[in-house]
Amino acid sequence: MTDEYPGKYGTLFLVHGALSDERMWRDHLDLLKDLGDVRAVTLPDFGPEESAEKSEFGMNSHAERLAKIVGDPRISGPVHLVAWSYGADVALNALVRHHGKIASVMVYEPGYPGCLTEEEMRDFGKDAGAMFGPVFTLAEDGELHAAVEALVDGSGNRLGYFASQPETARAQQLDNAHTLPRQLHQQETPDLDAGHLSKVEVPVTVAWGESSRPLFRIVSQAVARTVANGRAVPVHGATHMLPVEDPRRFADLVRDHLGGLKS
């Protein structure tokens, strides 16, 4: 790294997960501001329904948009992606399809099972069915508020997790309820199989919570071992919701990732 770039590391893009948007990163932007030019992204169709940009919805469409954002020629120096959940899948897909000037990626709990073994896929499918079955049923019945609550409870790995959150977190999740049907029924297939991921050469840190439900741990561990330059970081006591519930701890993971990059 050189001093010609803003801060120490260039430009960091923070990519949100499902039922979220750039607002989830407000605390993180302040906690990480000394590291460079830190920017939060809202993917198309996310955010409050009245202001959301309507576009094609899926991991390929979102990866293309993310690649266009980070590839802006006005951005000087290296670019690093930091992403969570659905955004982690989008970031990895953007890296595989259009690595461009992406210097590194840190993802927390991706969820797409493209590189799993048959045995892992059986375990993943069992837990995914338990988590998402009620969400699909509620969404198909038009009960989007209840579907959001079920999805967040599942992500937090306990009943009542949604209701236990601060009002600001619940409000953002409900603002994104309109995205849930499109997320559940998207048709695009990302390039997140073992063949594509194994060709990734830039440093990739994959972190997951040791208290997360099996589906997230299974995918995270598989991605970490599949990418050529992968680094696995289990986080003690954390669940899938770590970036939302503990911004400072998550920011420390980002610092650790960037600090481990070679100059």
DSSP H helix total and E strand total for the chain: 12, 6
Instruction: List, in order, residues 6 or more apart from 194 with CB less than 8 Å away.
Output: 114, 115, 226
Instruction: Let me know if 200 is exposed, middle or buried by CB neighbors in 10 A (0-12, 13-18, 19+).
Output: buried
173-195 pLDDT tens trace: 999 999 999 999 999 999 999 99
106-157 pLDDT tens trace: 999 999 999 999 999 999 999 999 999 999 999 999 999 999 999 999 999 9
Name the average pLDDT for the chain. 93
What residue has token string 């799993």? 116
Mean pLDDT of 29-52: 91
